[in-house]
Amino acid sequence: MRKKISLLLCVVAVMLFTAACAGSSQETADYNEATIQQTAEFMMEYCANADDATLKQWRSMREFAMELQLTQAGLPVTPESFLGALDSWQAAIDECGAYESHGDYTFEVTNDGIKAATEAQFADRDATISFVFDENSYLESMTVDAKYSTGEILNKAGMNTILGMGTVFVVLIFISFLISLFRFIPDMSGKKKAEEAKEAPAKSALEAAPAAEVLSETDDTELIAVIAAAIAAAREEAGAEDAGGFFVRSIRRRPSNKWKA
């Protein structure tokens, strides 16, 4: 397989050298369109004839070894651009079908280099193959742009619109579903307010209890004093020697009042 690749590269190197000599008197010194066209022809022919084993070998090859082979063959292509061209061609085959033929080239000189393009025919649809070369006539990229009819373009645009709107509606429905689940989440603020409301009467009762106890004790003291004074006065009137020799320990209310009967 390596011998096959090397042989192909040597053949194309001879072809490029011949084309460059033939076109040197016709093209400008900066851009030799014949050489550029020859490079483009080689890339298309090589990509169209490369089998899966060859592609796998190129992709598994180290960059230094690949660059060495390309340089020895005299191809103005970097390893990155070469692999990119192979991948672009395989994507075009999947989209447009098998390659059949192509037409004449058109050249466009830019500030950064030169662009060569040709109309190609594939089994399923036509495409435009574009090659971009830098100021040193090294291939930077090769792209294959499939051509679609107006109906196909509108169909794809409609499908993209439907998918986009469908995605938006699905997301909105999902968000609405999440919002509807919020009612099952406990309201922490409401619960806290309810607890505070329950604690408020308890605190009021606790605060009022000492005051009630103080008031009760005050009332009992006054009542004891009044009863003690009344007993002392009664004993004094009765002629008791020790009118004040007693203590009131406690006061109890009788369950019934017989005087009312």
pLDDT digits (tens, 9 = 90+) for 112-152: 789 999 999 999 999 999 999 988 888 999 999 998 888 88
Residue 170 is predicted with a pLDDT of: 93
Tokens matching residue 161: 């619109």
* Rounded-to-integer distance, Cα 56 and Cα 61, Å: 9
Whether the predicted model's global pTM rises above the 0.75 cut: no
Q: Which residues pair with 109 in a beta bridge?
A: 114
Contact by Cβ (8 Å): 220, 251: yes
Least confident interval from 10-19, 111-120, 177-186, 212-221: 10-19
Spell 176-210 as b/e; 16+ CB within 10 A means b: eeeeeeeeeeeeeeeeeeeeeeeeeeeeeeeeeee
What's the whole-number mean pLDDT along residues 224-244? 68
- DSSP letter string, 45-87: HHHHH--HHHHHHHHHS-HHHHHHHHHHHT--B-HHHHHHHHH
Average pLDDT, rounded, for the chain? 77
How far apart CA 36 and CA 142 sit, in angstroms, is 12
Amino acid at 65: A
pLDDT, residue 180, reads 86
Cβ-Cβ contacts under 8 Å for 62 (sequence gap 6 or more): none
The reported pLDDT for the residue numbered 150 is 83
| Count of CA atoms in the C-beta half-sphere (13 A) of 212 | 6
More confident residue, 221 or 51: 51
Residues pairing with 74 in the sheet: none
Q: How confident is the model at residue 168 (pLDDT cuts 50, 70, 90)?
A: very high
pLDDT tens, residue by residue, 173-197: 999 988 888 877 766 555 666 677 7
By C-alpha distance, which of 137, 139, 127, 129 is closest to 106? 129
DSSP per-residue letters across 112-154:
SEEEEEEEEEESS-EEEEEEEEETTS-EEEEEEEE---HHHHH
Residues 142/129, Cβ–Cβ less than 8 Å: yes
Terminal alpha carbon distance of the chain: 135
Categorize the per-residue pLDDT at 261 as very low, low, confident or very high, splitting at 50, 70 and 90: very low
pLDDT at 218 over 90: no
Q: Which amino acid is at 156?
A: K
Q: What is the mean pLDDT of residues 159-165?
A: 90
For 221-238, letters b (16+ CB in 10 Å) and e give: eeeeeeeeeeebeebeee
pLDDT of residue 23: 43
Count of beta carbons in the 10 Å neighbourhood of residue 88:
19
Among 173-177, 197-201, 238-242, the range with the most confident prediction by mean pLDDT is: 173-177
Name the band, by pLDDT with cuts 50, 70 and 90, for residue 89. very high
- pLDDT, residue 258, reads 55
